[in-house]
Amino acid sequence: SQTIHQWPATLVQPVGSPLSLECTVEGTSNPNLYWYRQAAGRGLQLLFYSIGIDQISSEVPQNLSASRPQDRQFILSSKKLLLSDSGFYLCAWSVQGSHGQYFGPGTRLTVT
């Protein structure tokens, strides 16, 4: 069966520090991968999606970036965090050509 992992679960970082969040998927090949951000009490905002290694689309211009160094690994990064980067970050995957998405447990990021 397929599983998706995200880490860390929670993170507190000072303004201006770098960020690296990791997501890995097991049990499937060539998945579509997604990064979302969710503000408290709000819906999800799509940040990045990837249909393959080194094929990443950015949805929202900001100080975040994403990389996919391996087929089932998706990394969200920032060189310098802003207070507005605080939120709940969710990674998700879907099968190529399918329509439902499967979400990881999320990372709660607080920028102080």
Partner 1 sequence: SQQGEEDPQALSIQEGENATMNCSYKTSINNLQWYRQNSGRGLVHLILIRSNEREKHSGRLRVTLDTSKKSSSLLITASRAADTASYFCATDAWETSGSRLTFGEGTQLTVNP
> Applying CB under 8 A, does 90 fall inside the site for partner 1?
yes
> Applying CB under 8 A, does 28 fall inside the site for partner 1?
no
Among 32, 35, 76, 78, binds partner 1 (CB under 8 A): 32
Structure tokens at 9: 């679960």
Burial class (CB within 10 angstroms; exposed 0-12, middle 13-18, buried 19+) of 103: middle
C-beta of 75: minimal distance to partner 1 in Å?
A: 18
The enclosing H or E element of 45 equals strand 44-52
Quote the Cα angle for 27-94-100, to 5°: 125
- Separation of alpha carbons 26 and 74, rounded Å: 12
Query: Quick one: 16 or 27, whose CB is closer to partner 1?
Result: 27
> Applying CB under 8 A, does 108 fall inside the site for partner 1?
yes
Among 5, 22, 65, 103, binds partner 1 (CB under 8 A): 103
For partner 1, which stretch binds (CB under 8 A), given 14-22, 41-49, 66-74, 79-87? 41-49
